[in-house]
A = this chain, B = another copy of it.
Amino acid sequence: MRLLPHPATEDIQLTEVLRALSDPVRLEIVIRLSECGEMTCGEAGDALGVHKSTASHHYRALREAGVIMSKQEGRLKYISLRRDALDARFPGLLGSILSATPSALRPGFGIEAHAGS
């Protein structure tokens, strides 16, 4: 079991976090992580609709921005949200984003999702 390098909490930059979360695919990953706690890259990338290499690039972007943690275990790689670090550095930010997301992220996933005639 190996942990991969992540930025220290105090080195996490606001603009980089915002940038990381401004991509719909990455925001989707973060939302899923916030619901499921910890997942393998395969699980996280399953319903994203992008190539696995694309997903891998997004994991790296999120990790380098300080948003997620990665730890390798055998041939699986588990990723998880860095909730504590984000809350310590930018109190309330992650919470406001996560509570705003379900309907805000994707039209067609909330109240207005009655794809009738």
Q: Which residues of A contact B (CB under 8 A)?
A: 13-16, 18-19, 21-24, 27, 89-93, 95-97, 99-101, 104-105
Contacts and interface: CB of A to CB of B under 8 A. Distances in A.
Nearest to A21: B18
23 contacts: A13-B104, A14-B97, A14-B100, A14-B105, A15-B21, A15-B23, A18-B27, A18-B97, A19-B19, A19-B22, A22-B22, A89-B104, A90-B96, A90-B104, A91-B99, A91-B100, A92-B96, A92-B99, A93-B93, A93-B96, A93-B100, A95-B96, A96-B96
Specify which of A18, A19, A23 lies most central, judged by the most chain B CB atoms within 10 Å of its CB.
A18
Interface of A is mostly: helix
